[in-house]
Amino acid sequence: MASDQATTPPPPPLPEIQSHDLSQVIVLHPPPVFNYFMDLFSKKFHLLKAWESPLPLHEFLTNHAHSAQAMLCSGTGPSISADIIRLLPSLRLVATTSAGLNHIDLTECRNRGISIANAGEAFSEDVADLAVGLLIDVFRKVSASDRYVRHGLWATKGDYPLGSKLGGKRIGIVGLGSIGFQVAKRLEAFGCNISYNSRKRKDFVSYPFYTNVCELAANSDVLIICCGLTEQTRHMINREVLLALGKEGVIVNIGRGAIIHEKELVQCLVQGEIGGAGLDVFENEPDVPKELFELDNVVLAPHMAVFTTESFKDLCDLMIGNLEAFFSKKPLLSPVMNE
């Protein structure tokens, strides 16, 4: 029997949030995290995508000059130069998905009261893992012996040449920030002896501190580059430093390519003046010196130290959190420079 009570009609659906109701975030070029999580950003913000616009960049920016208060960028996209910043007088936040800041004109941001947020420590553990992985690969010849097996040489030429032990090596870390410290912790567990060079001595560690990177190299079996790229660090690792590292020395770079003078590095490797290299970054990416392709004591990676699912999800959450905090007038989660 049908009920005599009137049925209550279902509540009307909530109105769908339109993109024009969302806070605007200008993006010049899609950061790598967009390849996996752009939909999460699009649900929260109205993304002004310069790369999809038919307009020249300066016209696109001029059209949004008085509405765009926040920008999302990355180290792989166009530089956020003074010229770009001046076209956006309402800009108050630049959020970058990288830890490094060399692609942003910090002076112009400071002069205009623009806050900056970066990736903070979202990448530190995964970048440190790759640094250790590259070093193990160089010492134990993992990639080179893999090629040896795949090319059928084990059956025809016999055992592969000996590698080197990691434990007991003297490790010099250039830049003992968040990433450098994670590298140090991991290599301590292997029984390595840690020293470092940084802008200033770190009170929270007891590792020997060198003010001069050349002296650090002379007292190390391995140099691991973990610092950021600035005018002071550009080509800091030059032929003099590499020769101080010596014929058995190994260099690992997970910082920025231009911290090392790449031509002098290639020359030292080809001439056998250092023992090997593990490189995730290069001076003119994605171009890599072809001389390195033939060297079994060199391990190459395509700037992938941060490329893990876990890192990208953490980064996505952090960037969204920074943007939400900015538009809510709350403190940023990973501020580098506040207005």
Prediction pTM value: 0.89
Which residue(s) pair with 209 in the sheet? 196
Q: Is 303 a catalytic residue?
A: yes
| DSSP annotation string for 95-122 | EESSS--TTB-HHHHHHTT-EEE--TTT
Q: How many CA atoms lie within 13 A of 274 on its CB side?
A: 31
Cβ-contact 166, 135 below 8 angstroms: yes
Mean pLDDT by 10 residues, the chain (339 residues): 53 52 95 96 97 97 96 93 97 96 95 96 96 98 98 97 98 97 98 97 97 98 96 97 98 97 98 98 96 98 95 96 98 81
Choose the catalytic residue: 52, 285, 291, 339: 285
Model pLDDT, residue 21: 80
Catalytic-labelled residue, pool 46, 64, 256, 261: 256
Amino acid 17: pLDDT: 46
At 73 the pLDDT is: 97
pLDDT at 10: 62
Whether 242 and 268 have beta carbons less than 8 Å apart is answered as yes
The β-bridge partners of 48 are 26
Report the first-to-last Cα separation within the chain, whole angstroms.
Answer: 70
Alpha helices in the chain (DSSP H): 34-44, 57-63, 82-86, 106-111, 124-140, 142-150, 153-157, 178-189, 213-218, 239-245, 262-270, 309-327
* Confidence (pLDDT) at 140: 98
The active-site residue, picked from 64, 103, 261, 303, is 303
pLDDT score of 14? 46
- pLDDT of 31 reads 96
The pLDDT assigned to 77 comes to 86
Q: Is 256 annotated in the active site? A: yes
Rounded Cα distance between 44 and 313, Å, is 15
Q: What is the pLDDT at residue 76?
A: 84
